[in-house]
Structure 1
Amino acid sequence: MKKTFFAAIAAGMLFAACNPTAPVGNLTESGLDKKNFETELNGKKTDLYVLTNPSGMEVCITNYGGRIVSVMVPDKEGKKKDVVLGFDSIHDYITISNNYGALIGRYGNRIGNGTFEIDGNKYDLPKNNFGHTLHGGNRGFDTQVFDANLVSDNVLELTYLSKDGEEGFPGNLNVKVTYILSEDNAIQIKYEAETDKPTVVNLTNHSYFNMDGDPNSTNTDWLLTIHADQYTPIDSTFMTTGEILTVESTPMDFRTPTAIGARIDDATFTQLVNGKGYDHNWVLNTGGDISKVAATLESPKTGIVLDVYTTEPGMQFYAGNFMEGTDKGKKGIVYKHRTAACLETQKYPDTPNKKDWPTTTLRPGEKYQSETIFKFSVKK
């Protein structure tokens, strides 16, 4: 399998495609070379797609794993910054185990013990994380090549058929994800899916945001607000316990802007020990109302502000606790411990095994629909 896989990579390097929205030449504003994203995997071509808006914002996305590769936004001095981590080539995305910027599915986050039941039928999944299934298994959507349709300068549609039994999940699942870059510097992500058998679906985006636009900086001083009165605690294997607890008087309280590093290493709080820092799901107060801000992330240094809106009931905040300085990212910069923050909108983890939580079950004739907006602005 490995020989075939890498042979496909080598063969694919022989062709080139053209993206009419890219700047003159092959380099994007963020410095990416499109040629480095052109290959072929399992008979499908990969490429880099560039979205732009009249405000001058640029978003680069590859159809390999539906990954957001770069996001160029202005800071408080008007200087453009790339505020997501990633790699300079498709080769690195394929050969380095990672989920930078990825579209996560079929099930974002964890399914306990790698198993669940629907209508009395038991399904066993790959156990790839402390005895549980994380982010769809070993070959989740982050490793798949999506069919791409560049609708316009600011709209990209990605589609994928996840076949019945893929990574153990039932049903042929037709997935469509649309990325829209608005004039007011917002990335709108619309998820849709339909199935021919009862299955579970929980799609999200796993961008690693660096609000300083500097991969050498850590998230310690970034200000985070999460509009949530409750969160779902985890055990030492990062699995939700089934409880929903208050954030009141705990380091989990981000209802007012708080520096990420202020309490992250509090060894007296068991949840931070279990998560090796923040790696938890918050129960959002927004109730699925996408007109309300669910979370805000801000860099005092650059003034760049990210507001998150979503139709989802939960959001996983991950503070890069497992970043160990082993991944060499864009421009050859090594990504050190906690140089990013992930804000993954979602249903709660392990919902298929916790029947009182918001369901992720999708049945034939139903349509899965979810929407998340990452809106950027500047605080001067």
Structure 2
Amino acid sequence: MRDRAPVPVGTMPDGSPILEARLAGEGLEVAVLSLGAVIRRLDVHGRPVVLGRDDPHDYVEKTPQCGAVVGRFANRIAGGRFTLDGVTHALPRNEAGRTHLHGGAQGFSRRNWSFAEVGPRSLTLTYRSADGEEGYPGSLTVACTYAIVAPGALRLTLTASTTEPTIVNLTNHSYFNLTLPPEGHPAPPIDDHVIEIPAEAYLPVDEAQIPTGAVAPVAGTRFDLRRATRIGDRAFDHAFVLGRQSAAEPRPVGRVTAPGSDLALTVLATAPAVQFYDGTHLAKAGLGFAARSGLCLEPEAFPDAPNHPGFPSAVVRPGETYREIIEYRFTKETAR
């Protein structure tokens, strides 16, 4: 794979180039787009493990945040409204006209980032979100660094600073499948994949997938994933609670294996929650992916946090630095 200098691979609607840069080493090959800071390709020992599109233009119009960094606020905000320091802010309701999802229709996943630094094992992209963009207060300067840090380990470091008090919640929205075939063949379902999430609590939601405000124990419920659980036995698009604040260093938030694969994925992160989504609605994106052909583990703040005083705060103020780390660690095991 190429490395170092990003190369043009497409064009944004405004005519600006979509660039791609690549990293390689320690058994990993990674392709990253400037559009959405997307992980377009992630191969482990030559095998693909994320859903991706060959045509970068698909990420402009069709992709459901596939592989992208999402923000300014990942996940949902009820009614597209929140109040900060006594001021109510209205955001686009881009999900069924009811909720604000993943930063809006023109969130970070649809913005063209800039490559600030590219090396053989790490690269950094930056984006400046203007004051008022998608309704959010403050000019936000964001950076995303992808780095190969160990054999089979890709680390994302997400940072942001603001000119005014605002809310920030960034994550990566890659769809993983440990049994992907060679290119040109359809992705099989992830129903037989097995997941573990070391969370003792989760966030119950209403019919619009908005947290009710409760933090409920997983014990005795279908949300108890502390032991290995076949994904196809249940349906998930829920946040699991890992702590009441961000951790100083990444800790395990989820582990995935699959019959017939000798790869295991462990996700580590500093965020206080992780959203587990089973890809049920993938077929609706028009990308040629079947429903449940990829799963997402999205470390993040609590969904709808600004509307629940009892949730950990997602507010960032001038002079503060938002910082979260996500690490995808692949290890080889005996095929099950």
- The answer to whether the superposition gives a TM-score over 0.5 is yes
Moved more, 173-182 or 145-154: 145-154
Which residue is 2:240 aligned to?
282
Distance 2:285 2:142 in 1: 33
Match of 1:13 in 2: none
Equivalent in the alignment of 1:139: 106
Tell me the TM-score normalized by structure 2.
0.93
Q: Distance in 1 between matches of 2:147 and 2:333?
A: 23
Residue 73 of structure 1 corresponds to which residue in structure 2? 44
For residue 324 of structure 1, give the secondary structure of its aligned residue in structure 2. helix
Shift of 1:19: 5.6
Equivalent AA in structure 2 for residue 318 of structure 1: Y
**Cross-structure match for 1:202:** 169
- Structure 1 range deviating more: 193-202 or 85-94: 85-94
2:212 maps to 241
Deviates more, 1:161-170 or 1:126-135: 126-135
One-letter code aligned to 1:106: R
For residue 85 of structure 2, what is the aligned residue in structure 1?
119
> What do residues 239-267 of structure 1 show as CA deviations (whole Å, max 9, x unaligned)?
111111111111111101111012x1xxx
Structure 1 residue 95, shift from structure 2 partner: 2.5
| Contact 1:162–1:172 under 8 Å retained in 2 | yes
CA separation of 1:305 and 1:92: change in aligned 2, threshold 3 A: same
- Structure 2 CA distance, aligned partners of 1:243 and 1:250? 15
Which of the two has higher C-alpha Rg? 1
The aligned counterpart of 1:331 is none
Tell me if the contact between 2:142 and 2:158 (Cα under 8 Å) persists in the aligned partners. yes
CA contact (8 A) 1:229 1:285 kept: no
Alignment correspondent of 1:45: 17
Contact map agreement 1:289 1:310 (CA 8 A) in 2: no
Quote how far apart the aligned CAs of 1:47 are: 1.2
Alpha-carbon shift at residue 289 of structure 1 (Å): 5.2
Q: State how far apart, in whole Å, the 1-side matches of 2:12 and 2:303 are.
A: 33
Within 5 Å, which residues of 2 pair with 1:358-369? 358-369=312-323
CA contact (8 A) 2:18 2:35 kept: yes
The answer to whether structure 1 residue 99 and structure 2 residue 71 are counterparts is no
- Rate the CA distance shift 1:325–1:238 in 2: closer, same or farther, 3 A: closer
Residues 150 and 228 of structure 1: CA distance in aligned 2, closer, same or farther (over 3 Å): same
Q: Is the 2:239–2:273 contact (alpha carbons within 8 Å) kept by the matching residues of 1?
A: yes
Q: How does 1:272-311 map to 2 (within 5 A)?
A: 277-284=235-242, 288=247, 290-311=249-270
Distance 2:94 2:324 in 1: 26
Q: Give the SS at the match of 1:294.
A: strand
Counterpart residue identity of residue 69, structure 2 = L
Partner of 1:171: 138
Q: Does 1:336 align with 2:305?
A: no
CA distance in 2, matches of 1:137, 1:326: 16
Match of 1:252 among 223, 234, 253: 223
Q: Which has the higher helix share?
A: 1
By how many angstroms is 1:291 displaced? 4.7
Look up the SS of the partner of 1:159 in the other structure.
Answer: strand
**Residues 180-219 of structure 1 aligned to structure 2 (within 5 Å):** 180-214=147-181, 215-219=186-190
Q: Distance in 2 between matches of 1:92 and 1:40?
A: 11
| Alignment check: 8 A CA contact 1:285 1:294 kept | no
SS in 2 for 1:261: helix
Percent identity (aligned): 35
Q: Which has the higher strand share?
A: 2
In structure 2, distance between residues paired with 1:198 and 1:291: 26
Distance, in Å, in 2 between the alignment partners of 1:40 and 1:99 is: 16
User: How far apart are 1:181 and its partner, in Å?
Assistant: 1.3
User: Structure 2: how far apart are the matches of 1:153 and 1:71?
Assistant: 15
Query: Which letter maps to 2:270?
Result: T
Distance 1:289 1:220 in 2: 34
| Cα distance, 1:90–1:216 mapped onto 2, change above 3 Å | closer
C-alpha distance in structure 2 between counterparts of 1:247 and 1:163, whole Å: 40
Contact 2:64 2:285 in 1 (8 A): no
Separation in 1, partners of 2:14, 2:331: 40
RMSD: 2.0
Tell me if the contact between 1:49 and 1:150 (Cα under 8 Å) persists in the aligned partners.
no
1:308 counterpart letter in structure 2: V
Distance 2:143 2:13 in 1: 20
Residues 2 and 23, structure 2, Cα contact 8 Å, conserved in 1:
no
Structure 1 residues 290 and 309, CA gap change in structure 2 (3 angstroms): farther
Shift, 1:285, TM fit: 5.5
